[in-house]
Chains A and B, each alone.
Chain A
Amino acid sequence: MSDRVAIVAMAQTRFERKKGGERFQEMVWEVVKQVREQTGLDFHKPGQIDSAVTCSDDFFDSRTISDAPMGDLVGAHLGPEEKVAQDALQAVFYGWVGILSGHYDVSLVVAHCKESQASSRNLITHAAFDPLFSRGVGLDYLTAAALQARAYLHKFAIPAEQTAAAVVRDRRHAGLNPKAQEQRPVTVKEVLSSKPICDPLRELDIYPVSDGAVAMILAREKRAKELTKKPVWILGGGNCYDSYFLGDRNLADSYSLRQAAARAYQMAGIKNPRPDLDLAEISAQCSYQELLWLECLGLAEDGKAGKWIAARGTNFDGEFPVNTSGGALAGNPLLVSGMARAAECFLQLRGEAGKRQVKGAKRALAHGTTGPAGQHHCVMVFSNE
């Protein structure tokens, strides 16, 4: 393995239900400008930012080649830019790979998504299903999630109060995060009496429609130490695809998340994730996923995460803080979620998380997922040491 790689700068927009006054290019420029200012880097090559990884989606942007409007914003004037069209933690992963390969020294990674532009984001994720067998039965990521919720909740007989507790926790954390979208605290009762959307999921169980962008600068060890006093090192990363048809998978579990986590842990030298990590940021698009993903990451016993969350064990001041940012349930667009998780790890590990700061945090995990009911997962582990 070559040099170590660190995140040296990060900026995120405030996440909002509808950024009606900004085009997606403007959201991107807002965060790119900030990471340039933080590091003093510009786009002149060589020696400055020497490559860019963008993350966006032709469907959500309603643009064929959705990275074409990015070139002007990420310094790709006669230079390299590559687009990852998955959850943005994969873009961070790919930025890391580009430096490990020896090809680049300093990479800009930026992800954006304006879910508010689509009349229905379910219509977009419906198109992710094959037109032959799956579209006809009306599947989209929401209905797929509802099927998975049923399978998981039934298997362990998990009461709705426990999944609601995850929403309560995330909203409480969001109230402490000035960048979070839904900052108003909610109660278990409010979650359980919110509008039914797709049984068993209710309005507050589902991540809200959201707009926003995140940017980071990644650098090789030598450059990282020049660029910041507080680099956040990438210790390891792993990802994995599951099978496509929902019926081919055990929806009450996640094979691909267990694989992705095992790969990341092995590389990061993590033998027992719970004591070896100080906090985790998990991409849950629905409340039950806060439980299921936590278990598949090996951070909670199977079927027991809900009880732990309800007992406030995963609060920012609890024994193992989860989603101190407020998580995706407080509002992050589909593609940006995994990178917003990594952004929170960055803040926590630098001691810059304000009122929600986890004391003495040294190692943090970020998780991102792509596809229906968590078909693809990415896990990365960061450290400030």
Chain B
Amino acid sequence: MKRNRNVAISGIGQTKHRGHRPDVNQAELVWEAVQDALADARIDLKDIDCVVHGNMELFEGVHQPDMWHVLGSGAFGKSGIRVTTGGTSGATVAAAADHLVASGLYDTVLAIGFEKQEEGQTTTGITAMADPLWGREIQTGAITGTTGLMWVNEFGARAEWAAAKTRVKAAKNACKNPKAHLRIQITEQDVMNSRLLAFPLRLLHMCPESNGTCALIYASEEQARRYPRQPVWIKDHITTHREETFHRGPTARVESSVGGTHDNPAGITGLRAQLSTMEVAATTLFKRNGITNPLQQVDLFEMYDPSSWWEIDWTCLFLGLERETVLNMIEKGEFEIEGSFPINPSGGVVSTNPIGATALIRVAEAALQIRGDAGEHQVPKPVKTALASGFGGTLWTVLHLLVKEL
């Protein structure tokens, strides 16, 4: 992507994401992450020029919450903007912080993603996404078994085992991450025995509702080189949205397994054959950054995985891999922290999900891994290039590419 000037992440902050935080109000929860980011960056609130805020306001039922949150965001007297795009909010906040610094208007920008989900009813909140005249009766939030069903139809129990193994991987990683919400010790059998939501999607496959905030400090190249922390550079990012309706064919690959075969998608006609935002975002981003083989040229991927079924499906879409290849790689443990291509070393969204913060936490984890500061969940291999994705709206994608050296 063309840019007016280079931008880096100079500070990373998060709350310890938890299911219950009755001890703090919303502004206090924001302040915890802001404080953490400032301490990590070793700079002062007065160094911040501009604050970007994002969340999903119908989850807590607070209108224009950036107003109240000024008490915790430190935005008093500063410039600021609020951007929200649903689940992608955190990734859009990150993109906005990059825009704002790259524009030359601000040298140091604080990006904040927030959600305190226990203060509302998440499924009610998500159901209100659908059009009131059509769609709302059948809207069930992100709880859909369709993707899993495609896999089970094709691969049977092998796919169920792969999804369970992917969930167990997330749990193991989360146990190493003190910021993660669900730090549980589970086995594949526990996952496959957990409550059925919509076959083959089970409770343990799904992301939780969390309370938490993520705050990142973005700085211009000049400023970032002056700040104490090792900068993590923003190489590129891309936002790929699509239409309001879900049911115009979620992905070409999924449709092809219904209508025909992988090799012969000719049976698919018209709109049903459209590409997914994941494929478009990744191929465009890779092309303009000279990435021809992501498994070789990218060191890890922190993916927004609302359920383990989507993690395995989207691994195919983002990386351009066949399902068979991905199943093999899961079975060999290639996506584990010690594997050849770690995915979600943080524990992912199935472990931690304060929605407005969730996509920003992906960027935070990618940056932490590049810096080598992820502690127990640091991947052992050198990390120079990392991908972080956001998911939201009607299967929208925002994809960030971070690098250690420009």
Give the B-binding residues of A (Cβ under 8 A): 1-2, 51, 57-59, 62-65, 67-69, 71-72, 76-86, 90, 93-94, 97-98, 100-103, 124-125, 127-132, 238-245, 255-256, 259-260, 263, 370-372, 375-376
Contact = CB atoms under 8 A, between A and B. Distances in A.
Given A77-B242, A101-B99, A242 B76 contact: yes
Contacts of B26: 130
Contacts of B274: 78
Contacts of B100: 97, 101
Contact of B83 (A77, A94, A130, A370): A94
Interface string B51-62: 100001111011
B214 interface: no
A371 B67 contact: yes
Nearest to A370: B64
A30 to B, nearest CB: 18
Contact of A101 (B61, B64, B81, B98): B98
Contact of A65 (B76, B104, B129, B239): B129
Given A62-B128, A101-B3, A255-B77, A244 B67 contact: yes
Interface in B351-398: 392-394
Contacts of A59: 57-58, 63
B131 interface: yes
A27 B125 CA distance: 25
B85 A83 contact: yes
Contact of A85 (B25, B51, B64, B125): B64
B92 to A, nearest CB: 5
Contacts of A130: 25-27, 62, 68
* Nearest 7 CB-CB pairings of A with B: A65-B86, A100-B103, A101-B102, A80-B239, A102-B4, A128-B63, A76-B241
Contact of A71 (B59, B62, B76, B243): B243
A100 B84 contact: no
Contacts of B129: 63-65, 68
Contacts of A94: 81, 83, 96, 99
Given A58-B56, A71-B241, 17 more contacts: A2-B104, A65-B56, A68-B129, A69-B131, A82-B239, A93-B81, A97-B99, A97-B100, A128-B67, A130-B26, A131-B62, A242-B76, A242-B77, A244-B69, A255-B77, A370-B64, A370-B67
Nearest to B60: A131
A101 B103 contact: yes
B71 to A, nearest CB: 5
B268 interface: no
Contacts of A81: 85, 239, 241
Contact of A63 (B82, B105, B128): B128
A377 to B, nearest CB: 10
Interface in B180-206: none
Interface in B74-115: 75-86, 92, 95-96, 98-105
Given A1-B104, A132-B25, A376-B80, A241 B63 contact: no
A69 B62 contact: no
A260 B92 CA distance: 24
A260 B85 CA distance: 26
Given A64-B56, A80-B241, A101-B4, A71 B393 contact: yes
A245 B70 CA distance: 10
A83 B85 CA distance: 6
Contacts of B393: 65, 67-68, 71
A163 to B, nearest CB: 25
Contact of B81 (A90, A128, A132, A260): A90
8 contacts: A2-B104, A67-B84, A71-B241, A86-B82, A128-B64, A242-B76, A244-B27, A263-B79
B244 interface: yes
Given A85-B57, A102-B102, A130-B62, A240 B77 contact: yes
B58 A58 contact: yes
A2 B85 contact: no
B240 A78 contact: yes
Nearest to A1: B104
A241 B76 contact: yes
Contacts of A371: 64, 67
Contacts of B241: 71, 76, 78-81
B270 interface: no
Interface string B281-303: 00000000000000000000000
Contacts of A65: 56, 84-86, 129, 392-393
Contacts of A72: 243-244
B238 interface: yes
B275 interface: yes
Nearest to A98: B99
Contacts of B127: 64
Contacts of A57: 63-64
B46 interface: no
B126 interface: yes
Interface string B3-16: 11100000000000
B235 to A, nearest CB: 13
B132 interface: yes
B244 A68 contact: yes
A69 B394 CA distance: 10
A128 B66 CA distance: 9
Contacts of B392: 65
B358 to A, nearest CB: 14
Nearest to A69: B244
B3 A102 contact: yes
B127 to A, nearest CB: 8
A241 B77 contact: yes
Nearest to A52: B241
Interface string B139-165: 000000000000000000000000000
A129 B25 CA distance: 13
A243 B76 contact: yes
Given A67-B393, A71-B241, A103-B3, A83 B84 contact: yes
B105 A97 contact: yes
B280 interface: yes
B121 to A, nearest CB: 12
Nearest to B86: A65
B68 A244 contact: yes
B79 A375 contact: no
Contacts of A243: 70-71, 76
A285 to B, nearest CB: 14
Contacts of B95: 82
A259 B104 contact: no
B325 to A, nearest CB: 25
Contacts of B275: 78
A81 B67 CA distance: 24
Contacts of B4: 1-2, 100-102
